[in-house]
Amino acid sequence: MTKQSIIAQEMERMGLGEVQEYYYNLDRSETITHGILNGEGELSHEGAFVVNSSPFTGRSPNDKYLVQSDDPDLWFATGTEPIDEAKYKVLKAKMLAKMNTQRLYIRDVLAGADPAHAMRIRIIADNAAASLAASNMFIPYEGNEPHKDPDLTMFVSNDFAADPEADGLRSPAMVVLNFEDKTVLVGLTRYAGEIKKSVFTFMNYVLPKRDILSLHCSANKSKDGDVALFFGLSGTGKTTLSSDQERALIGDDEHGWSDEGIFNFEGGCYAKTIRINPKYEPLVWEAINRFGAMLENVPLDEHHRPDFNSNEITENTRASYPLYFISNYEPTGRGGHPNHIFFLTADAFGVMPPLARLSNEQAMYYFLSGYTSKLAGTERGLGDKPQATFSTCFGAPFLPLKPSIYAELLSKRLEKHGTKVWLLNTGWAGGGFGVGERIALPLTRAMIDAVLSGSLDDVETHTHPIFNIEIPNAVEGVPDEVLNPEKSWTDFDAYKIEANGLAEKFIKNFAQYEDSVSEKVTLSGPKILKD
């Protein structure tokens, strides 16, 4: 059977047998050419393909739905709504009827760099930009034949708008996942992050059921093979901090941890670009300013130069590019069991220490808490200022199973492999947002380097009186007032009030997990400092 006949057969099976014009696995140049001819975007002066996804310049968390099933482990994160099978079938039929009248771009890719755990993914889109994003962000499929009955099929239609009243949705935009049908529907939104995170959500459902821990983290490794993981939500520094000229990048966002070690889910990166500095982020800068990269919502000047300092369209400007655009990437997308794990938080209150060592119990506590500050523009409707938030396992919107499942898998891995866990604050010091200053990137890198070099293995520490975590007494190149946040405040009483306030938030949030963890884990968290 020829490739074309297989595709035709697959189109018929998927309900797209009436489509008159479609393209299968166009190469990057052809896809960009189609995007330009379609009027979807234009080239920067250095060749990046630049698109505007307005009005959807971030994820739409309130437009995400999971189709209900009999799975007792299915979990609906805050904002994620259940939808019944009947409504899903109607939506799918309406969307495919629309797509049957359009030119379509079909892309077969893989998710999972370990062949033993790779998923066959198909993205069918009515626009070339979505297909380019998929080409950049996932692992190329180079098989002789198209996927037959893929593990996941995603239908992406920028031109399909749901009828909220008739379809029972909250808005005309939608991201609907059906694990039984192995399908995702993405309607109306042009934000490429919805494609990426839908695949991640799917992997988060499938892999833990196979005893593989799925993780929202970046990963790199040294020349000697020691692996470091960086957990954190968007804007906390995963991409930046894992892009190290001295270490090979395994991946910048999503990984699995199996009995064999770490493997990347993706074949590319989706980096925030707002105010990117080539001095501090040379690898990412080079990757985003070349032909084949896709810039999302980055304004161009009259000479087609990207203005990375502008938030004219959104604070959440993005770039997608294949991993091999990073000069020191790890081509296998794999590494051994991690030696170190960093939990990244951008603390908007300016009270958390920039570096602290966590016990295994504290690792469970802070993993389940997932504290950070959502940064402006990362999600629609967030506003102009960061907001403190707790996101379970540093990725709550993308977890379709009960949080305890992921936490138990992490605990098992930490115990077995002796991985050291650190809390790293990439947020503010000397006061909260608007008063203090964000911790300088070179200082954060100095702390990471100290951890990875082993120089902090035996360093003396002291316990933070509120957050109950061990802070190194000294880190080379890092001022004492930075290491100890209370010393960077001019008023200790004001510091204590803010720190106690954040501790209260931790305690209140963690109450939901107390029945699923040991008392030792619960007691390892923050405590209120009394007068």
The structural domains of the chain, with segments of one domain joined by +, span: 3-41+57-210, 213-267+332-523, 269-325
Give the number of other Cβ atoms within 10 Å of residue 405's Cβ. Answer: 18
pLDDT of residue 530: 85
pLDDT given at position 6: 87
- 239 counts as catalytic: yes
User: Would you say 252 and 218 are in contact if contact means Cβ atoms under 8 Å apart?
Assistant: yes
Q: Are 228 and 309 in contact (CB under 8 A)?
A: no
Which listed residue (34, 59, 334, 420) is catalytic?
Answer: 59
Enter the tokens of residue 335.
Answer: 């590494």
Angle between helices 193-206 and 128-137 in degrees, nearest 10: 50
Residue 234 annotated among the catalytic residues of the structure: yes
User: Cα–Cα distance between 181 and 133 in angstroms, integer?
Assistant: 24
Give the model confidence (pLDDT) of 330-380 as tens digits. 999 999 999 999 999 999 889 999 999 999 999 999 999 999 876 444 445
The class level of CATH for 213-267+332-523 reads: alpha beta
Q: Is 464 one of the catalytic residues?
A: no
Instruction: Look at residue 384 in the predicted model and tell me its pLDDT.
Output: 52
Q: What are phi and psi of 151, to 5 degrees?
A: -70, -30
| Closest to 177 (Cα-Cα) out of 119, 272, 251, 91 | 91
Phi (first) and psi of residue 356, to 5 degrees: -155, 145
List 216, 221, 272, 496, catalytic entry: 216
Query: Of these residues, 240, 253, 314, 444, which one is catalytic?
Result: 253
318 an active-site residue? yes
Per CATH, which fold does 269-325 belong to? Answer: Phosphoenolpyruvate Carboxykinase; domain 2 (2.170.8)
Ranges of residues in the chain whose predicted pLDDT is under 70: 374-386
Q: Are 234 and 389 in contact (CB under 8 A)?
A: no
Give start and end residues of each alpha helix (H) in 15-146.
Answer: 28-37, 85-99, 128-137
Cβ count within 10 A of residue 163: 11
> 318, 357, 413, 420: which is the annotated catalytic residue?
318
What whole-number distance in Å separates Cα of residue 210 and Cα of residue 413? 14
CATH superfamily of domain region 3-41+57-210: Phosphoenolpyruvate Carboxykinase, domain 1 (3.40.449.10)
- Is there a contact between 150 and 7 (Cβ–Cβ < 8 Å)? no
pLDDT score of 378 = 45
480 touches 489 (CB < 8 A): no
pLDDT the model gives residue 379:
47
Give me 500's structure tokens: 């106690």
d(CA 63, CA 81): 8
Out of 234, 240, 317, 419, pick the active-site residue: 234
